[in-house]
Amino acid sequence: MIDSDVYRRQGFGQSLAIAPPFGLLVVDFVNGFANPEQFGGANILPAIRNTAILLAEARRRGWVCAFSRIVFADDETDGGVFTQKVPSLLSLKEAEPASEVVDALAPIPGELVVRKTVPSAFFGTNLTPWLVKHGVRSLIVAGATTSGCVRASVVDAMSWGFHPVVLSDCVGDRALGPHDASLFDISQKYGEVMTLRDFMSRPEIHARLNA
């Protein structure tokens, strides 16, 4: 059980401004993570369904949208420490259906797809300059897993100066314990955490559509 009083007394959990321009990052919602027999489980499938609603709204409002995939070379020469810990990730190769973004969230022309071999969607990719080019200030984050690639991407987003907003029902994990603990940790140190409904009800979202 988390002693939240300790965090409050030490000054954690302050609020970040949530303001446009907005961007959306969908982390690793690929077929392999939608499959409980491969890398999925727990609340990932409901999170994908909620993210489909979020993605449609982001597109309607003209927000820039980016997606990440874990993709390893066919000869596996780019496997590193991550795959030493989780060797089965090496099955996620470019031509494998398991590495493709789920159909419900399929990217469209003009949206960025980054391929990565580590947890963070920022590390070793062109995501940061792409978001900067589009003037993104608040980065809305969905994806899987909450305790892994989502958390790593949120930490890097904050480190690059973006204001991360994690929608708790648009992220999922293969187990609820790590999911809940990571959302608490993110809310205390790295970003804002709220539900999709609460986010979409905020006046900042409806102030204007992105140009």
Q: Are 16 and 191 in contact (CB under 8 A)?
A: yes
> How high is the pLDDT of residue 126?
98
| Residue 47, domain CATH | 3.40.50.850
> How high is the pLDDT of residue 4?
87
Find, among 148, 147, 122, 149, the residue nearest to 136 by Cα. Answer: 122
Query: Domain range holding 157?
Result: 20-206
Among the listed residues 18, 44, 140, 149, the single catalytic one is 149
| Number of domains composing the chain | 1
Instruction: Kindly state whether residue 165 falls inside one of the protein's structural domains.
Output: yes
> How high is the pLDDT of residue 210?
47
Instruction: Kindly state whether residue 137 falls inside one of the protein's structural domains.
Output: yes
Instruction: Kindly state whether residue 9 falls inside one of the protein's structural domains.
Output: no
| Interval 16-64: pLDDT, tens | 999 999 999 999 999 999 999 999 999 999 999 999 999 999 999 999 9
Q: How far apart are the first and last CA of the chain?
A: 45
* pTM to 2 decimal places: 0.96
CA distances from 28 to 2, 106, 134, 192 (A): 28, 12, 22, 20
Phi, psi of 206 (to 5 degrees): -100, 5
Q: Clarify whether 149 is annotated catalytic.
A: yes
Instruction: Kindly state whether residue 211 falls inside one of the protein's structural domains.
Output: no
Instruction: Kindly state whether residue 59 falls inside one of the protein's structural domains.
Output: yes
How many CA atoms lie less than 13 Å away from 83 in the CB half-sphere?
A: 18
Low-confidence ranges of the chain (pLDDT < 70): 1, 207-211
Instruction: Kindly state whether residue 4 falls inside one of the protein's structural domains.
Output: no
> How high is the pLDDT of residue 211?
43
